[in-house]
Structure 1
Amino acid sequence: MPYFLAPPIRKKDPALWGEGSPYSTEVIYDICSGNPVDPPIHYESHRVKPHSVCHFDAPGHIHADGLKIDGLYEKDPTLFYGAVALLVFEAPKFAPHSNAPHIQHWEISQSELKVALGKVEMRSPLKKLIISFQQIPSDFYQSKTHALTLSEDAAKYLRKVPGFNLFGTPWKSADFQPGSRKRPVHHALLPQAGILECLNLSGIPAGEYFLAAPPLPLEGATESPAAPLLFTREELQF
């Protein structure tokens, strides 16, 4: 069975960016209403705040002239699927952030990234990368005490990898810059790559997988909900 990377979307969950409930519904047709005019179905509208659920960021999220989700589908939909390296870092190195000491931040350095990449046997060229760490909670994306990001140098290193086009993180954002409007990891990666955020990576070992992560093809959207899947090479035999 493949690994399902999207955490459940629940009405009771907290918003991650102060934008209200991440998920709400409104009944359009009620199958139990008994109204003879309505069709015999249950049908609801669904309102989702993408940045509080598993989602895909397009370049337009951080660059005013960047491609949006529908533009990625038109230009290069291979961003949404293909071989991916999942790195599971063995020794968490969280430490209080200088500008937010109540948050334990781990900024993965370029050297740490290279060491971890060397431990994953890849049969395909590195084009997609997801980061994780041992014993990561399934709801890490909601953590109010810990943050996991790449360093700016690590992100720039990935940008120089030929054909690199997707980065995935289990935290709610690829950046953690308290007190600053800078988003160095987003700016380093999004000109050429998409970003997946809020992934559930609990219990998934490091290795090479096949990723399928198409977001909803929303017109004009700079971000969109996604329900990514990871397949082992053996699971692709059919």
Structure 2
Amino acid sequence: MLEIRDLHVTYGAVAAVRGISLTVGDGSIVALMGANGAGKSSTLKSVTGQVRPARGEILWDGRSLAGTSAVRIARQGVACVPEGRGIFSDLTVLDNLRLGAYRLRGSRSLASKLDAVYDFFPILRDRRDQTAGTLSGGEQQMMVIGRALMAEPRLLLLDEPSLGLAPKIVDQVYGIVGDICRQLDLAALVIEQDASIALSICSSGYVLRNGVVAVHGTRDDLMNDAAIRDSYLGA
């Protein structure tokens, strides 16, 4: 579904990404891991059209995304859950969710998508008339995932979904994300520093270091190799 070939991203003289290649198959969940500054978010921004690569190819369903605007990429079924959540804090939960459905037409379709989101996140139904800025961090994260689902994506990009959340809430959010992808047959690329939690739902992963892929493999490969685990995933 998504294929990245020899991706290079630069900011002036600074090379943030230096030749990354990865694939996300249809219906698969893939982790992209590494420390701050490793190039994870720059990779994601290239996929969504927010950053123009200096070199390399990004293919979506076999077609190049070169020169494609962020709006057109979103319309092709790529939805992003951004780092830091990006909520509209003065709007209600319901209005935040509605903003994710800008591609949909007809109130019946909107109502059915809202019901689907509420089925995954029942707390959002209870909070739908509450302003988003008054939600807890975990509830806000659930809301922005729900907002992305309102766009009926085929690929879900999640940038540091565990950021700022208590461990118990992280486990809850990741558990729901895994359920969503399985039930809706969604592909996902999960950007994470916390490798152990990312691999809890991912079938494979890539570890970035200084803008390059240091190691990649299946979840079992990464978790069972002592050298990899100690060097990149934490003992």
TM-score, with structure 1 as normaliser: 0.26
Q: Which of 1 and 2 has greater Rg?
A: 1
| Greater percentage in helix | 2
